[in-house]
Amino acid sequence: MATSKPAGALLVTSTKIALLMKYRELGNTGEKLSAIGLGCMGMTHAYGDRNDEESIRVLHLALDLGINFWDTADIYGPHTNEELIAKVLAPNRDKVFIATKFGFTQAGTYNRGFDGSPAYAKKAVEASLKRLNVEVIDLYYAHRIDPNIPVEEMVGGMAELVKEGKVRYLGLSEASAETLAKACQVHQIAALQSEYSLLTRDAEDQIIPACRKLGIGFVPFSPLSRGLVTATLPTDARDLKADDFRHTIPRFQGEYLENNNKLVEDFAKLAADKGCTPAQLALAWVLAQGDEIIPIPGTKKTKYLRENAGAVDIHLNDSDFSAIEDVLKKHPNTGPRYTEAAMSMVNK
């Protein structure tokens, strides 16, 4: 079947390589993190076949490029993601700010099997420390907000881990602005992680403003819309690997995918005019939304890691922003980012 690679192939020669990584402060922590982080999930989870040798090369290249903010979770695999990362993280501990998450108790599901209780957090952190082969985790997230216990209780349990020296900073994922405010009354939240990209902009209304007000860093996951805006994926989702998580995402189905293929084609033309790849243009747009924003695009290929890093050197002007908005308005039927079942675990 046909793929959307022609535009990507056209842009390979114009890929910008970061001359020097730029850094941003994580909330009010004083920690200087690479403006482009590294999402490690896909190395062992959700996006088709593993290639551990290439993933290890990606991790070493991240060190060479100055990408010091790595993100994982215990449920990725499950467990195998933390174990893989440990092979490079442990011998280079002083060069990496490592973030991991806890809470999901069943792999392959996002609508059940979640435990944010203090007792489970205590158990989960010990297991992650062992798998990562580190003495302390820099940033420890609750992977979602537990609907069965007050957020104050959940964060209180996480705060005990800070007192015990097992965790340095706390984070939440997919939390509402109201929940963030409640959490900060118990313990300072260093980072909020949520999906944010050209195609997912819900966070702009309340969540990003709340982060700014509360001194919380905002960490977008899937800033490339799960690869959709990169012009490197098949135009037919049936060409993805059978176990690829994107088979469950509405944006890769039916009328939504038809709309999005047209959007990607037009967006790739903008990138070509800018002299960069679509992925770089999309990341540059995310970075331009605020200095407190540190996206964590995922990849398991060195080629794409270099490409992502190059986004820090792309400056967008008013004309660029207008052209991007025009493309989005031209193709508005992008579809929801999750199924209804998966969205039930997003705190509102």
Ramachandran bin of 314, using left for φ above 0, alpha for ψ from -120 to 50, beta for the remaining angles: beta
Angle between helices 278-287 and 302-309 (to 10 degrees): 40
**Residues pairing with 97 in the sheet:** 69
- Which residue from 180, 105, 104 is spatially nearest to 144, judged by alpha carbons? 104
Distance of alpha carbon 298 from alpha carbon 81, whole angstroms:
13
Distance of alpha carbon 36 from alpha carbon 11, whole angstroms:
21
Distance of alpha carbon 250 from alpha carbon 239, whole angstroms:
16
- Please confirm, yes or no, whether 23 is among the known catalytic residues: no
Order of strands, edge to edge, in the sheet holding 191-195? 38-39, 69-71, 97-102, 137-142, 167-173, 191-195, 217-221
CA 212 to chain CA centroid, Å, is: 19
Asked if 310 and 262 count as a contact pair (C-beta separation under 8 A), the reply is: no
Angle between helices 278-287 and 318-330 (to 10 degrees): 110
The pair of three-digit structure tokens given for residue 288, joined into one six-digit string:
């331009």
Distance of alpha carbon 184 from alpha carbon 182, whole angstroms:
6
Which residue out of 23, 47, 76, 304 is catalytically annotated?
76
Residue 66: half-sphere exposure toward Cβ, Cα within 13 Å: 16
Which residues are designated catalytic?
A: 76
